[in-house]
Each structure stands twice: as structure tokens, then as C-alpha cells.
């Protein structure tokens, strides 16, 4: 083939690609949504015009209908300069575009047969939405998702490698966005689920291991930026083990919300099994030290674990607001007054409050009733260690290891001894292992003397001593 | 040939290098306890026979159980560290303890009364906490606490015997005409401890736990 023929062929190929690109763009998903919306709006104006008797108004309605029938299809976007974001959500959700639809409502807002994509924003008249004008805040500041994308899947962010998909409104995860800016979210109308999440976080003792912005312990990772963490980095090779409602997560659902939810609704040991027998590492690494909140059944009526699914979703909502990556302008922040310490007339009641406040329940169980699992710790009810056991047999014994059940021990301490014990903690290296060659139990008793005040410590000891079981040793 | 020997030597060196790590991983509970020593640990891990024999029979039983001995053919024999206090630490720790539980057995009021009597009759027992720490039910609580330690196989009956021994032994070996001898013994242990483990000494001193 001569150069001239090759040149012609290349040009025709290029033309073909160009035509294909035009055709593909013409069939873009968003164009259908926009043209349908314009047609629906034009039809509704036609209907109004037909019913209108005032000639001037009739003419206006007809003009509106004509305008919408000839409205050009175009990418629409809200420029959120404060966040340096460009949210193109209104390209499909035209009814929520303030410039095209100033009322941001439609005649079919309440029609269940019409898809939500053509409707105005729910609760548009409520203070919550009014306080967050879209022209300033855009969409993704609250909803998350991928603002620049112009396909449904891409924009909603449920695609592989997009770590910030739209937060679920149904499960309340979206309320995490309130937490990002509103320090006072616990008293904020509309953020009740996130507030419940924080209350659950406190009650179940999560602060005992996880710190958030300096409050809490450092036994495990700090969670002040958990919402920024990429699932794919922290999940390691464990994708298949991250399950929600017993089902493997599809790739497009790999995100931090599901990672947290999987830990709260499954046994975290299954989600993060690590390498307790050092098959892959030089040293054994214990599975997740987090308690199995799905197995501590405390509600016989519902049969759910210590955390119900709604509780778990509330915690996910709260933690979804734990971001440091998003450069939220200071003007957006609403500070909260310092948390008030309740007053207690009774030392025991105050002690119980202190137990919850510092997250002791994370290891010692709700109301100190039952020590939680401590993998490979020596504990009651275990068979003696035998090197000949299979890995599965060893694993079964290792997971019987537990944190102390405090009422069993409280009778053996004086008030002062207990304060000293809590104050000094128990170092991880002091743990007694069931399998001497196995991993060091991950969870340990931190040093509390610098965190808990003297008055609090006194009352905590008073309450703990009051939980002591009756001495049945006979001496 | 040279290369082969070099490889063997390198492998052996690597093996030796790995040994301390493996050793640390398999540290026994007793080794862990000794890694955080107390002055008590420097004292003898048994009592003179004549002292033991002078104690009532049930008290002697507690002594043998504490030392991790079991009865076999009418004799007390060492159970290879599988029972008693020696499962987790040496017998020196309780035998040289500063704790002093007033006599009175299970009767707390009697112990309290005896403590008051001790305070009146022998005020020197309350002057130096590194020598005597007289306290109602102190051994009772400690024995029960140790029994609750993970992996401890001391039964309730054994625990009771150990406590009976510790209470009786303290009241007889650490007070009255033996008080001066005991004070000399404890002070010697603390001085030795200070010399041998100066850092730990300061740590325990600051925590009032010498």
C-alpha cells in the first residue's frame, strides 16, 4: 500500500471514530433524563394552558411549554468554590437546578409512579434544606458521590475504586455529613441517627480502644479520619470476607461504610482474620481484637446481637462524618459547647457513668457483666495447650480467651488497690498466652491514671466494687 | 567445598540470631513474674523444717500446697510446677511477703480486733510498710485474686489451705518475739533488691509497693 492510500485510510478511520464518538455522546444517559424532564415539564405547561381561561396567563403557559420543548441539552453543574468541587448532579436531576426550576418542586413530586430523578428535592421547604442552599453547598458536600460523573452509576459513586459513594438516606448514613461540620450534631434536628450512633459508640465502649480527636484510648486505630480511609487499602486481601447480610460485597460496594458495617454486624475475626499461625508472616498476627457485637445477644425478642442493625447503621452514620481529608472551610463549621458533665448525687451512679464514659464496656462488657473475647489469652474453660492439636482446634481454644469478668474479681481488691490497678493498666506483654507460640493478645488494659480524674476514679472503684459477686470460695 | 561450608556457617548464624526471638516468645509465666521482681523474690523459697513442723498440721498442709507439692504415698513431693503458687512465681514471693494478716480466721471482726491489739501492743509493726503491711484479710484477698488469674489451677480447698498457712505463718514468724528477726530479714532483702534492681526499686518505692 502506498503512502497516499495509507493516509486516506487513516483519515477515514479517524472520521469513523469521530462519528462513533458523536453517536455515543448523543446516546449519553443524561440526555434521556434531561429531554424527558423537559418534555414532562412542557406537557404540564400545555395542560395548564389548555385549562387556563385568562388569555395572558394562557399565553405565558404556552410560552413556557415552548421554551421547555426547545431547551438545549447540556451538562449542568454547580460550582462549589469553597470545596473546589463541580457537582453535575443537576444534569440529570434538572428539577433540583435552581436556574431551570426556581421553585425546585414539580407537579409530580408526590406521584409514586414517577422516577425520583425527575422530582424536586424532598423536604425542600424544611429548614434543613433551606439552610444549605444548593448553589453554595452543591450536592456532594452532603450526599457524597462523584460530582463530576455523568452516568448514574458513576455519579452515585457505586463503582469500583470510588471510595465515597452516595451515603444511604434510608440507613441514615447521610447524617454523617452533618457530623462533618456541626459540632453540635447531637442536638441538631435531622441528625438524630448520627447522634444515636455516637451514643451507641459510647455505650458499647468503642472509646476504650479507639480515640477520636484525642478522646479515647489508643489500643486500636484512631477513627478521626476513618471516613477518608480507602477500603481497598485497609481490607487487604480480605475482600471476600467482608459480608453484609451474609452476602459477599460486589466490587462496586467496596467502601468504608460497608467496611465499618461489616465489622459491627459480623464477627470481626472473620472480617479481619490476619495470620494467627504465622503461615504468611515471620510472627503470628492475631485476628481483629474487636468484640463480636453480633453475637452478644441481649434481646431475646428480636434475636439480634448487642447491636441491632439499626444501631450498627447509626454508628456507621456517626463515623461517616469522621473526615480530615475534605477541606471544609471554617465558615461552614458550627462549633458545639463543651460536653456537659452530668452531676450525680450518688458515687455509684457516677462510677457507672465513668465506666461508660471511658469505654470500659469495650473490653469488660455492658455494665461490666461479661469480659469480651481476647484472642489467645489464657482463660477459663480452655483445654490445655497441646502442640499436636490442629490449627482449627488451636483456634477454637484461642478464641475462648477473654478479658476479665469484673464481678468475679472485685471481691479480691480493696478500693485503693483497684484504683492502682486501673491507673497502671496491664501492658500487652504481660498477657498470659494459651498458645505460647501464638500471637500476643491484641487488646490490653491501657494506663488510665492520666486520663481519669481522681474524683472519677474514686467513684468508678466504688461502683465496680459494688458489682462484686458473692464470695463462694468458702474462705 | 569452601562455598558449601560458608553456606552452612551462614545458616547456623541465622539460626542463632533467631534464637533470642523464639525464646522471648516462649517465656513462661514464672519467667514473666521474675522479670518484674519484688524484694520477696530474693529471699528463701522454703521455711526451715523445724519452723514448718512447729505449725499445726492443717497449716503445714497449706505450706506444702503453696510450694506446689502433692501428697504421694504419704509424702509431699514436688509436682513439677503444675500446682500451688509456684505455677506462676517462686514460693519466695509469698514466704517473704511484707503482708501481715491478723489472726481471726474468717471472722473479720476478730481480725479487726486483733489488728487493733497489734497496733497497741506492737506499734513498731505499723511504722515501716516495707517490712510489715498489717491489714485485715490481706492474704485472703490476694490468694483469691491469684486463683482468678487465667490458667491458675488452685482449687477453692487448696486456696483455703494456702490462706490458712499464710495467715498463721505471718502472725507467728513476723510478730512478737520474731518481729526483730523478721525486720532484719526484710530490710536485708530490700537493701539487696535496691542494689540489684535499682530502677525497679525506685519504681516500686514510688508506687508504695516495695
Query: Helix or strand or coil: residue A275?
Result: strand
Q: Where are the alpha helices (DSSP H) in A106-255?
A: 127-130, 134-137, 140-143, 152-156, 176-181, 192-203, 231-234
- pLDDT at position A246 is 86
ipTM here: 0.80
Whether B22 shows a pLDDT value over 60: the answer reads: no
Q: Please tell me the distance from the alpha carbon of residue A111 to that of residue A95, in angstroms, as a whole number.
A: 14
Which of A283, A398, A412 should be substituted to probe chain B, the one whose Cβ sees the most B Cβ atoms within 10 Å?
A412
Q: Cβ separation of B160 and A475 shorter than 8 Å? A: yes
Angle at A408 between CA A403 and CA A412, to 5 degrees: 110
Are the beta carbons of A474 and B156 separated by less than 8 Å? yes
Phi/psi at A182 (5° precision):
-95, 100
Is there a contact between A413 and B141 if contact means CB atoms under 8 Å apart? Answer: yes
Say what the pLDDT of residue B27 is: 59
A473 near B CB under 8 A: yes
Q: Quick one: cell of A468?
A: 462484686
pLDDT band at B167 (very low <50, low <70, confident <90, very high): very high
Contact B85, B162 (CB under 8 A): yes
Residue ranges in chain A modelled with pLDDT below 50: none
Please check the confidence at residue B24 and state whether its pLDDT lies above 80: no
CA-based nearest residue to A292, from A174, A417, A400: A400
Q: Could you write out the DSSP letters of every residue in B142-202?
A: HHHHHHTSTT----HHHHHHHHHHHHHHHHHHSSGGGHHHHHHHHHHHHHHHHHH-HHHHH
Distances (CA, A) of A85 to A100, A149, A354: 21, 12, 43
Alpha carbons A95 and A115: distance in angstroms, whole number? 12
Which chain A residue has its CA at the smallest distance from B25's CA? A437
Contact in structure between B84 and B162 (CB atoms under 8 Å): yes
Q: Of B96, B37, B36, B42, give the one whose Cα is nearest residue B66.
A: B96
Alpha-carbon separation of residue B137 from A204, A467, B93 (angstroms): 35, 20, 18
Q: Which chain B positions have a beta carbon within 8 Å of A401's beta carbon?
A: 150
DSSP A247: E
Residues of chain A contacting residue B144, judged by C-beta atoms under 8 Å apart: 411-412, 471, 473
B41 CB neighbour count, 10 Å cutoff? 18
Q: Rounded to whole angstroms, how far apart are CA atoms B117 and A328?
A: 71
Q: Are strands A85-87 and A243-244 parallel, antiparallel or unpaired?
A: unpaired
Nearest CA in chain B to A381: B151
Determine contact: A281 vs chain B, CB below 8 A: no
- Using a 10 angstrom Cβ sphere, with 0-12 exposed, 13-18 middle and 19 or more buried, the burial of residue B187 is middle
C-alpha closest to that of A89 among A143, A37, A127, A35:
A143
d(CA A138, CA A80): 6
Q: What's the mean pLDDT in B138-167?
A: 94
Select from A412, A437, A474 the Cβ nearest to the Cβ of B148.
Answer: A412
Sign of CA dihedral A371, A377, A380, A422: negative
- Looking at residue B181, its pLDDT comes to 96
Closest-CA residue of B relative to A429 is B32
Q: What percent of chain B has pLDDT over 70?
A: 88
Taking the CA of residue A236 and the nearest CA in chain B, the distance in Å comes to 26
Question: Coil, strand or helix: which one is A473?
Answer: coil
Q: Considering only CB atoms, which chain A residues are within 8 Å of B140?
A: 475
Q: How many residues does chain A have?
A: 475
**Dist CA A222 CA A203 (whole Å):** 18
Cα separation, A426 vs A441, in Å, equals 12
> In Å, how far are A376, B29, B65 from B88, measured between CA atoms?
18, 5, 14
The answer to whether the CB atoms of B148 and A424 lie below 8 A apart is no
Q: What pTM was estimated for this model as a whole?
A: 0.85
**Residue A79 bridge partners (DSSP):** A86
Q: Which run of H or E residues covers position B72?
A: strand B69-72
Cβ pair B156:A411 closer than 8 A: no
Contacts of residues A25-34 at CB distance under 8 Å and 24 or more positions apart, as own/partner, are A28/A150, A29/A92, A29/A150, A29/A151, A29/A152, A30/A75, A30/A91, A30/A92, A30/A150, A30/A151, A31/A73, A33/A91, A33/A92, A33/A93, A33/A94, A33/A117, A33/A118, A34/A71, A34/A73, A34/A74, A34/A91, A34/A92, A34/A94
Distance CA B161, CA B85 (A): 12
**Under 8 Å between Cβ of B72 and B79:** no
The closest of B35, B39, B34, B51 to B128, measured between CA atoms, is B39
With CA atoms as reference, the chain B residue closest to A471 would be: B144
Q: Does the pLDDT value for residue B30 go beyond 80? A: no
d(CA B45, CA A272): 46
Q: What is the mean pLDDT of chain B?
A: 89
> How close does chain A come to B75, measured CA to CA in Å?
26
Q: What local confidence, expressed as pLDDT, does residue A237 receive? A: 65
CA atoms within 13 A on the CB side of B186: 26
Phi and psi for B102 in degrees, rounded to 5?
A: -60, 150
Does the CA dihedral B73-B75-B81-B84 come out positive or negative? positive
* A78 beta partners: A87
Interface check A329 vs B, CB under 8 A: no
Task: Determine the Cα angle at A25 with ends A24 and A28, to 5°.
Answer: 95
Instruction: Report the residue of chain A nearest B104, measured CA to CA.
Output: A475
Chain B interface mutation, best of A382, A473, A474, highest count of B Cβ atoms under 10 Å: A473
Closest CA to A219 of A282, A268, A288, A306: A288
In this complex, the residue of B26, B156, B207 whose CB is nearest that of residue A473 is B156
Pair A85, A140: CB distance under 8 Å:
yes
Output the pLDDT for position B20: 44
Give the pLDDT score at A303. 60
What local confidence, expressed as pLDDT, does residue B149 receive?
A: 87
Q: Does B29 touch chain A (CB under 8 A)?
A: yes
Give the distance from CA B167 to its chain's centroid.
14
Amino acid at each position: 500500500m502506498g503512502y497516499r492510500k495509507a493516509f486516506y485510510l487513516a483519515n477515514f478511520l479517524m472520521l469513523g471514530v469521530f462519528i462513533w464518538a458523536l453517536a455515543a455522546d448523543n446516546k449519553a444517559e443524561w440526555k434521556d433524563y434531561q429531554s424527558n424532564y423537559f418534555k414532562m415539564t412542557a406537557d404540564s405547561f400545555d395542560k395548564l394552558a389548555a385549562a387556563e381561561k385568562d388569555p395572558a396567563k394562557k399565553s405565558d403557559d404556552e410560552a413556557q411549554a415552548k421554551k421547555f420543548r426547545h431547551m438545549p441539552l447540556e451538562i449542568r453543574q454547580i460550582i462549589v468554590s469553597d470545596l473546589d468541587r463541580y457537582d453535575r448532579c443537576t444534569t440529570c436531576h434538572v428539577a433540583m437546578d435552581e436556574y431551570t426550576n426556581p421553585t425546585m418542586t414539580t407537579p409530580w413530586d408526590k406521584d409514586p409512579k414517577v422516577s425520583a430523578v425527575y422530582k424536586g428535592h424532598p423536604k425542600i421547604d424544611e429548614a434543613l434544606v433551606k439552610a444549605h442552599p444548593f448553589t453554595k453547598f452543591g450536592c456532594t458536600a452532603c450526599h457524597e458521590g462523584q460530582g463530576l460523573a455523568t452516568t448514574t452509576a458513576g455519579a452515585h459513586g457505586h463503582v469500583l475504586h470510588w471510595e465515597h459513594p452516595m451515603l444511604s438516606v434510608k440507613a441514615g448514613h447521610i447524617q454523617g455529613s452533618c457530623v462533618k461540620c456541626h459540632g453540635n450534631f447531637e442536638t441538631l434536628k435531622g441528625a438524630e441517627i448520627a447522634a444515636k450512633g455516637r451514643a451507641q459508640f459510647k455505650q458499647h465502649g468503642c472509646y476504650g480502644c479507639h480515640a477520636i480527636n484525642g478522646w479515647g484510648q489508643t489500643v486500636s486505630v484512631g477513627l478521626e479520619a476513618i471516613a477518608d480511609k480507602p477500603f481497598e487499602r485497609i481490607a487487604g486481601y480480605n475482600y471476600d470476607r467482608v459480608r453484609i447480610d451474609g452476602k459477599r460485597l460486589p466490587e462496586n460496594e467496596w467502601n468504608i461504610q460497608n467496611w465499618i458495617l461489616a465489622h459491627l454486624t459480623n464477627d470481626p475475626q472473620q472480617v479481619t482474620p490476619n495470620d494467627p499461625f504465622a503461615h504468611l508472616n515471620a510472627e503470628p498476627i492475631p485476628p481483629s481484637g474487636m468484640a463480636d457485637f453480633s453475637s452478644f445477644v441481649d434481646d431475646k425478642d428480636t434475636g439480634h446481637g448487642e447491636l441491632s442493625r439499626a444501631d450498627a447503621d447509626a454508628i456507621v452514620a456517626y463515623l461517616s462524618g469522621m473526615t480530615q481529608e475534605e477541606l471544609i472551610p471554617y465558615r461552614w463549621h458550627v462549633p458545639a459547647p463543651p460536653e456537659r458533665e452530668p452531676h450525680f448525687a450518688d458515687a455509684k451512679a457516677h462510677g457507672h457513668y465513668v465506666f461508660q464514659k471511658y469505654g470500659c464496656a469495650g473490653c469488660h462488657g455492658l455494665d461490666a457483666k461479661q469480659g469480651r473475647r481476647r484472642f489467645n489469652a489464657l482463660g477459663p474453660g480452655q483445654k490445655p495447650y497441646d502442640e499436636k492439636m490442629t490449627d482449627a482446634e488451636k483456634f477454637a481454644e484461642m478464641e475462648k480467651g477473654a478479658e476479665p469478668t469484673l464481678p468475679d474479681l472485685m471481691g479480691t481488691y480493696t478500693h485503693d488497690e483497684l484504683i492502682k490497678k486501673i491507673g497502671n493498666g496491664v501492658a500487652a506483654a504481660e498477657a498470659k498466652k494459651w498458645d505460647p507460640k501464638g500471637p500476643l493478645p491484641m487488646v490490653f488494659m491501657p494506663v488510665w491514671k492520666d486520663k481519669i480524674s481522681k474524683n472519677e476514679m474514686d467513684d468508678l472503684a466504688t461502683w465496680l466494687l459494688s458489682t462484686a459477686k458473692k464470695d463462694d470460695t468458702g474462705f | 567445598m569452601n562455598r558449601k561450608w560458608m553456606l552452612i556457617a551462614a545458616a547456623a548464624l541465622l539460626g542463632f540470631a533467631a534464637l533470642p526471638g523464639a525464646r522471648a516468645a516462649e517465656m513462661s509465666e514464672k519467667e514473666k513474674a521474675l522479670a518484674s521482681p519484688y524484694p520477696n523474690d530474693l529471699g528463701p523459697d522454703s521455711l526451715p523444717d523445724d519452723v514448718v513442723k512447729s505449725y499445726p498440721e492443717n497449716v503445714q498442709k497449706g505450706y506444702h500446697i503453696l510450694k506446689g507439692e502433692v501428697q504421694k504415698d504419704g509424702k509431699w513431693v514436688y509436682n513439677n510446677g503444675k500446682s500451688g503458687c509456684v505455677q506462676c512465681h517462686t514460693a519466695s514471693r509469698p514466704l517473704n511477703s511484707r503482708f501481715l494478716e491478723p489472726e481471726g480466721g474468717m471472722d473479720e471482726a476478730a481480725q479487726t480486733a486483733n489488728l487493733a491489739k497489734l497496733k497497741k501492743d506492737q506499734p513498731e509493726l505499723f511504722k515501716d510498710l516495707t517490712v510489715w503491711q498489717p491489714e485485715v484479710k490481706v492474704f485472703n484477698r490476694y490468694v483469691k485474686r491469684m486463683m482468678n488469674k487465667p490458667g491458675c489451677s488452685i482449687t477453692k480447698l487448696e486456696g483455703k489451705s494456702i490462706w490458712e498457712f499464710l495467715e498463721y505463718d505471718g502472725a507467728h514468724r513476723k510478730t512478737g518475739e520474731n518481729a526483730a528477726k523478721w525486720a532484719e530479714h526484710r530490710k536485708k532483702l530490700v537493701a539487696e533488691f535496691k542494689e540489684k534492681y535499682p530502677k525497679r526499686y525506685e519504681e516500686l518505692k514510688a508506687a508504695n509497693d516495695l
